[in-house]
Amino acid sequence: MAGKVVIFGVGLIGGSFALALKAAGAAGTIVGVGRSPQAMARALELGIVDAVAASVQDAMRGADLVLIATPVAQTQAILASLLPYLEPRTVVTDAGSTKSDVVAAARAALGERVGQFVPGHPIAGRESNGPDAAIPDLYIGKKAVLTPLPENEPADVERVASAWRACGAVIHQLSPQEHDKVFAAVSHLPHLLAYALVDDIANKPHAGLLFQYAASGFRDFTRIAGSSPEMWRDISLANRDALLGELDAYLAQLTGLRAALAAADGARLERVYANAQRARRQWSDAIEAAEAPPQDTAE
């Protein structure tokens, strides 16, 4: 149970964290901090936060747990702004989609106090944003990945883990580098590819005709191209090295498939398609098994 919880950014991610902690009775007071007075007023009105802080100093006084749930590019400035008021009792965490850059930002901003910062990333989302999109069950059954630093006290890591567990999340740990490599492959690259396809089609002279015949396969494939361009610009840049590595591997794969197609090498195309189908089905079955409710194993 965290006493005073401070949340920077009470949109979908920060707001859902607040609602989940409240639903679990796992927080005393929840205080919001943000740049938009309208969003903060809305978060107060919706009961997401108990109070809106008048200043960072005010927010940080007596804080037990701080969550930074803003676009990742703002993390360093926020950490620098709270450092003068960071009490020894306070643990700070974040919800950013990239971790190596956040760790670098934390080291730059917090210096020798970086041990009080436990980097994190909840793997959950919705297509909508802002305080109105926040829901208390966003994290139930989802993964919350922590990427602890050598400087972190185990008790501080546990305090963050325990808050996410109260929200219903399952805790995983990776190094920041592992985290970024994994998400470059399974999240950041697919976003770039989906944006690239829709932009490519939209720029063709007969785009109207093309969109007219796009159907459900296209809809699912491009759903992530409906995501925030600013947020994904920041993620792409923040995880540039890992994303470039994944993009280069994918370009090599496409170049190989192009050659197979040009040579009418149906056997090679089918091998790639069949391997993908098998892997996709195994993954999908494993996910369904993991998310199924526990079964009574007695007859």
DSSP code for 126: -
Relative to beta strand 117-118, strand 120-122 is unpaired
Which of residues 45 and 127 has its CB atom nearest to its own copies in the complex?
127
Secondary structure letter of residue 158 according to DSSP: H
CB 41 to its own copies: min, Å: 27
267 burial via Cβ count (<10 Å: 0-12, 13-18, 19+)? exposed
Applying the rule CB under 8 A, the residues between 99 and 158 that interact with its own copies are 123-125, 142-143, 145
77 near its own copies, rule: CB under 8 A? no
Binding mask 171-210 for its own copies (x = CB under 8 A): -x-----x---xx-xxx-xxxxxxxxxxxxxxxx--x-xx
Are the C-beta atoms of residues 121 and 174 closer than 8 Å to each other?
no
Q: Which is nearer to its own copies, 30 or 124 (CB)?
A: 124
Q: Quote the least distance from Cβ 182 to its own copies, whole Å.
A: 5
275 is a contact residue toward its own copies (CB under 8 A):
yes
Residue 229: CB atoms within 10 A of its CB come to: 9
Quote the DSSP letter at residue 152: S
Phi-psi region of 111 (alpha: psi -120 to 50; beta: other; left: phi over 0): left
Q: Please state the closest distance from residue 126 (CB atom) to its own copies, in A.
A: 9
Position 258 contacts its own copies (CB under 8 A): yes
Sequence-ordered list of residues with C-beta below 8 angstroms from that of 298, at least 6 positions apart, any chain: none
* Choice between 28 and 245, CB closer to its own copies: 245
Pick from 8, 12, 7, 9: nearest CA to 227 = 12
**243 binding its own copies? (CB under 8 A):** yes
Q: Which amino acid is at 270?
A: E
Please state the closest distance from residue 238 (CB atom) to its own copies, in A. 10
User: For its own copies, which is the closer residue by CB, 53 or 225?
Assistant: 225
- Restricting to residues 212-231, name those near its own copies by CB under 8 A: 213-230
Nearer to its own copies, 41 or 279 (CB): 279
